[in-house]
């Protein structure tokens, strides 16, 4: 399994010389399986550059997963260039965590007058796989979802291949329980022993006094979770728009 992050910024994209190292694009993750299959997680603004890379590589078949429907995780979808090729085939998955289905959420990003092209008018073939079960296989990788502690709900995912796991826990608040969310103990067990844990780390401790309940975590709490879970590698994610390199 190879993992590449095309966007790690939270809430909205930023640009400029202050953001070169860690980037300004919003959430998009590219996972390559041992067999060369492509799994895309979320369609923030980072998906535009990923799309260009996939076309350069001549890859036109992908699976796509969504954590939740907030704008910074879907706003790049219409600018994913492979959508406009007849060669492209996409299998889309998403857990039932909002009032709308995944297909409705995606269609909402390409609806006039907000965007000039409707989803029905693109050239790619898209199949919506429906809501995800507790655990399922995707391109040879075991995918395990867990509910997020986040406004309006959502799901994090654990990807396991050849007994090595990548846990992606963005937009998750460890210090506050949201309706439908899991407990800290459940996140701890979910992450235990992972090869890589990437967790939301948007706030500093002093900022959290005003932002508790907003659905994001203090970086020190995320680090504590990683240490308790004894993960091998840990990554901070969902960088605040005010953070610079």
The whole-number pLDDT of residue 100 equals: 67
pLDDT-derived band at 229 (thresholds 50, 70, 90) equals very high
The whole-number pLDDT of residue 185 equals: 98
Whether residue 134 has pLDDT greater than 90: no
Query: CA 35 to CA 221: how far, in whole Å?
Result: 36
* Pick from 40-44, 52-56, 65-69: least confident: 65-69
Any idea how long the chain is?
A: 245
The whole-number pLDDT of residue 52 equals: 99
Q: What is the pLDDT of residues 62-111, one digit of tens each?
A: 999 999 999 999 999 999 999 999 999 999 987 765 556 888 888 989 99
146: CB partners within 8 A, 6+ apart: 155, 156, 157, 158, 182, 186, 187, 190
Share of the chain above pLDDT 90, in %: 86
Greater pLDDT, 173 or 135: 173
Average pLDDT over residues 27-47: 97
Query: CA 184 to CA 175: how far, in whole Å?
Result: 8
The whole-number pLDDT of residue 131 equals: 62
Q: Residue 180's Cα: distance from chain center in Å?
A: 19
Whether residue 132 has pLDDT greater than 70: no
pLDDT-derived band at 244 (thresholds 50, 70, 90) equals very high
Query: CA 101 to CA 183: how far, in whole Å?
Result: 25
Average pLDDT over residues 197-217: 96
Domains and their CATH numbers in the chain: 2-237 (3.60.15.10)
Greater pLDDT, 153 or 42: 42
Whether residue 172 has pLDDT greater than 80: yes
Q: What are phi and psi of 31, to 5 degrees?
A: -115, 125
pLDDT-derived band at 130 (thresholds 50, 70, 90) equals low
The whole-number pLDDT of residue 96 equals: 64
Mean pLDDT computed over every residue of the chain: 94
pTM as predicted: 0.95
Asked if residues 216 and 10 have their Cβ atoms less than 8 Å apart, the reply is yes
Query: CA 205 to CA 215: how far, in whole Å?
Result: 14
Q: What is the pLDDT of residues 208-227, one digit of tens each?
A: 999 999 999 999 999 999 99
Other CB atoms within a 10 A radius of the CB of residue 66 amount to 26
Whether residue 245 has pLDDT greater than 60: yes
Asked if residues 100 and 107 have their Cβ atoms less than 8 Å apart, the reply is no
Residue whose token pair is 């993960």: 231
């Amino acid at each position: 399994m190879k993992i590449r992050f095309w966007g790690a910024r939270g809430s909205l994209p930023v640009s400029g010389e202050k953001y070169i190292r860690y980037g300004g694009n919003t959430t998009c993750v590219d996972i390559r399986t041992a067999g060369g299959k492509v799994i895309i997680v979320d369609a923030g603004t980072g998906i535009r550059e990923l799309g260009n890379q996939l076309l350069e590589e001549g890859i036109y078949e992908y699976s796509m997963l969504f954590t939740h429907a907030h704008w910074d995780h879907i706003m790049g979808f219409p600018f994913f260039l492979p959508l406009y090729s007849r060669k492209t085939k996409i299998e889309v998955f998403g857990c039932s965590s909002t009032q709308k289905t995944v297909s409705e959420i995606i269609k909402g990003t390409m609806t006039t007058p907000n965007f000039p092209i409707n989803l029905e008018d693109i050239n790619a073939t898209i199949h919506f796989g429906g809501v995800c079960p507790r655990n399922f296989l995707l391109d040879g990788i075991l995918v395990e979802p867990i509910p997020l502690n986040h406004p309006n709900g959502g799901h994090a995912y654990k990807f396991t291949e050849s007994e090595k796991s990548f846990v992606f826990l963005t937009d998750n608040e460890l210090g506050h329980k949201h309706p439908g969310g899991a407990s800290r103990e459940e996140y701890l067990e979910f992450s235990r022993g992972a090869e890589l844990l990437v967790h939301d780390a948007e706030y500093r401790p002093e900022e959290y006094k005003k932002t508790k309940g907003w659905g994001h975590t203090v970086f020190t709490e995320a680090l504590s979770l990683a240490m308790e879970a004894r993960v091998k590698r840990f990554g901070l994610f969902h960088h605040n728009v005010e953070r610079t390199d």
